[in-house]
Amino acid sequence: MSLLIALRRLAHVRLGELSRRTTAVTLSSGARLSGLRSFTVGTQALRSDKVTFHFINRDGEKITVKGSPGDTLLDIVINEDLDFDGFGACEGTLACSTCHLIFDEEVYKKLGRVTDEEMDMLDLAYGLTETSRLGCQICLTKSLEGMVARVPDSVTDIRQSKDESA
């Protein structure tokens, strides 16, 4: 069991890099695979280009990190090795909604369009709010400098409070 989790984490780290490369490559017939290896996005950004972002974890602690514009919030959680249990299980492929984040209203408005597919997955997120989004679908931009996202309670925490009130 622990081995599997560790493996998943390993895969995470490796795939964080991989996904940045492969998403840049169009896979339609006619795409040029020769371009594959030379492609990197966002990794060479200068220090000064970085955007400061804050997460509030499940214990209410504020964690401050820096990320490059273009990275998704999930990329940052992985790159910075932030320990939010179970976060981002499907590695940003819109299959799980475990990368659920909650924002203040003003921040929420700046986050850009929600796709239908994201909305469908949000429907299945735990503890959904009106200002919820999926972290793997939000790309960091300069306009998000200094913004905060809260990691909602995990499945087990919520299950507890629900049972308590019952």
Partner 1 sequence: MAILNSFTTACLKNIPGNALNKHLFFTLRAFYNSQSRSVLGISEERAISPPIGLERTTVKNLKEMPGPSALANFIEFFWRDGFSRIHEIQLEHSKKYGKIFKSRFGPQLVVSIADRDLVAQVLRSESAAPQRGNMDSWKEYRDLRGRSTGLISAEGEDWLRMRSVLRQLIMRPRDVAVFSDDVNAVVDDLIKRICVLRSQESDGATVLNVNDLYFNYAMEAVAAILYECRLGCLENEVPQETQEYISALHLMFSSFKTTMYAGAIPKWLRTIIPKPWEEFCLSWDGLFKFSLIHVNKRFEEIKTQLERGDEVKGGLLTHMLVTKQMSLEDIYANVTEMLLAGVDTTSFTLSWATYMLALHPHIQQQIFTEVTNTLGPEKVATANDVQHLPLIRGLVKETLRLFPVLPGNGRVTQDDLILGGYFIPKGTQLALCHYSTSLDDENFTEALDFRPDRWLRKDTSDHVDNFGSIPFGYGIRSCIGRRIAELEMHLLLTRLIQKFHIGLSPLTDEVKAKTHGLLCPGAPINLQFIDREIQT
56 binds partner 1 (CB under 8 A): no
Within its chain, how far is the Cα of 35 from the centroid? 27
Interacting residues of 121 by C-beta distance below 8 A, sequence separation 6+: 94, 95, 96, 97, 134
Region binding partner 1 by CB under 8 A among candidate stretches 38-46, 66-74, 91-99, 145-153: 91-99
Q: Which does 155 bind (CB under 5 to 8 A by kind): ligand FES, partner 1, none?
A: partner 1
- The binder of partner 1 chosen from 29, 38, 44, 48 (CB under 8 A): 29
- The binder of ligand FES chosen from 51, 121, 144, 151 (CB under 6 A): 121
Whose CA is closest to 67, among 139, 148, 149? Answer: 139
Judging by DSSP bridges, how do beta strands 62-67 and 100-103 pair with one another? unpaired
41 binds partner 1 (CB under 8 A): no
Residue 164 DSSP symbol:
H
Note whether 131 and 104 are within 8 A (CB).
yes
- The binder of partner 1 chosen from 4, 38, 106, 142 (CB under 8 A): 4
Helix (H) or strand (E) holding 148: strand 147-150
- Reduced to 3 states (helix: H, G, I; strand: E, B; else coil), residue 56 is strand
138 binds ligand FES (CB under 6 A): no
Q: Which residues bind partner 1 (CB under 8 A)?
A: 1-15, 18-19, 22-23, 25-34, 36, 59, 81, 83, 89-96, 98, 114-117, 119, 122-124, 126, 128, 130, 155-156, 159-160, 163-164
Q: Which residues bind ligand FES (CB under 6 A)?
A: 74, 88-90, 92, 94-99, 121, 134, 136
